[in-house]
Amino acid sequence: MTTIHIHGGRIIDPAQQIDRTADLLIRDGNIVGIDESSESVDESIDAAGLIVCPGLIDLHVALREPGFEEDETIASGTAAALAGGFTSVASMPDTSPVVDNRAAAEFIVLQAERAGNCRVFPLGAVTKDHAAEELSEIGQLVDGGAVAFTGAKKPVANAEIMRRALEYTRMFDRPIFNHPQVPELVSKAVMHDGYYSTLLGMPGMPAASESIMIGRDIALAEMTGGKLHLMCVSTADAVEQIRRAKARGIAVTADVTPHHLVLTDESLQSFDSNFKVDPPLRTQEHIDALIEGLKDGTIDAICSDHQPFAEEKKAVEVDLAPFGIVGLETVLPLCVKSLIEPGHLDWPELIALLSTGPERILNINKGSLHPGADADVTLIDPDVSWIIDPADFRSQGRNTPFAGWNVSGRAQTVIVGGQVRYRSEA
């Protein structure tokens, strides 16, 4: 193990309410402290002009392995995470086989250790084989490392199963992550239900499909006392429902993606399948409500919702293409563009949404720079300008609508467990 001295950076640690220029000392894989010194240092990192913060954490990413290695592998996905500044990610269970037992969860952890990139925390499937008929072996999955449970992109549509899942996972102090959507209202739909879906003649997903499911989930969370996390909220009514639920003391949290903050349904006029995401891109009215939800603490975290696909799967008609974009490597610049540059949030607030917020939801104790903590640290260059080029992605997926965008802000160095795992080549 080594000693690393990071000097002259702007240290931002929302967990300790620290935001000042200082030095950070790391030894033997742990944080020694801020403004600590050491007689012998193995590596000295000049962080002048950089932000030094806890390693970023992504709440849910699709790593595709096992079963869909043509789209992504744990090795390539975690390499992409490092390039995006993430030291920990939670992996979706919608693989083949599904992560619905202890062995499947342990495989994810083992593969991540072999890859030697960032940390990976498995999300377990709520039901066996995602069939929505019988709960998975929740206790065994917890023993295997599962930090939460989800149906991934399939909503837990059966209210009785959702009720029992919330009750059972409460015993293990684990949240249920749900994709809030009424399946019957979005069947065969392609985009947001509104002016542009009518103009383009494409079936639409009404905002009500999200509102209805969130209302049900909040009621069940209140009834059971279980922990509910709502993934990728995208509507104004969702934000208002979550705000009211939190005011009543219900254990509900939520996240939003950067692409739902910078793009609207108008983008689908291009018929480019890279704009096809689930939930769909909506209108500016909804974006404004999401930003207000981030500003007042209603929304707890920002996540990539990383959904990589092999090129041939997206290179088809928009109605036939799968939903989703790659996101791990573009989260930071898109957050700068949508939140920092317009003045909606400052850097400490953004770092909290990308570190301490996800840490609290997953309960993984990885989002702080306090003495003794694991040395998971991200150094961000907030001012560097660059052009998004999918050819440079470390992810196998190239399905992004942001190719050619001129953006600012990027992870410069990423340290996991006291080891430098990534340095930007720029």
Instruction: Report the catalytic residues.
Output: 305
Residue 262 host element (H or E): helix 259-262
- Residue 198, CB half-sphere, CA atoms under 13 Å: how many? 4
Q: Could you say which DSSP state residue 194 is in?
A: S
Distance separating alpha carbons of residues 171 and 374, to the nearest angstrom: 27
Strands (E), 56-190: 56-61, 86-91, 119-125, 148-150, 176-178
Distance separating alpha carbons of residues 66 and 73, to the nearest angstrom: 8
Residue found under tokens 């709520």: 126
Do residues 299 and 233 make contact, with C-beta atoms less than 8 angstroms apart?
yes
Count of other CB atoms within 10 angstroms of residue 151: 25
Distance separating alpha carbons of residues 278 and 190, to the nearest angstrom: 9
C-alpha distances in angstroms, 284 versus 94, 255, 256, 263, 288? 31, 18, 15, 8, 6
Q: Which amino acid is at 386?
A: W
Nearest to 421 by CA among 56, 10, 12, 8: 56
DSSP code per residue over 309-376: --HHHHSS-TTTSPS----TTTHHHHHIIIIITTTSS-HHHHHHHHTHHHHHHHT-S-S---TTSB--
Q: Which amino acid is at 327?
A: G
* Measured torsion, CA atoms of residues 149, 154, 158, 160, in degrees rounded to the nearest 10: 0
Do residues 236 and 260 make contact, with C-beta atoms less than 8 angstroms apart?
no
Nearest to 154 by CA among 231, 218, 102: 231
Distance separating alpha carbons of residues 298 and 141, to the nearest angstrom: 30
- Encoding tokens for residue 130? 């995602």
**Radius of gyration (C-alpha) of the chain in whole angstroms:** 20
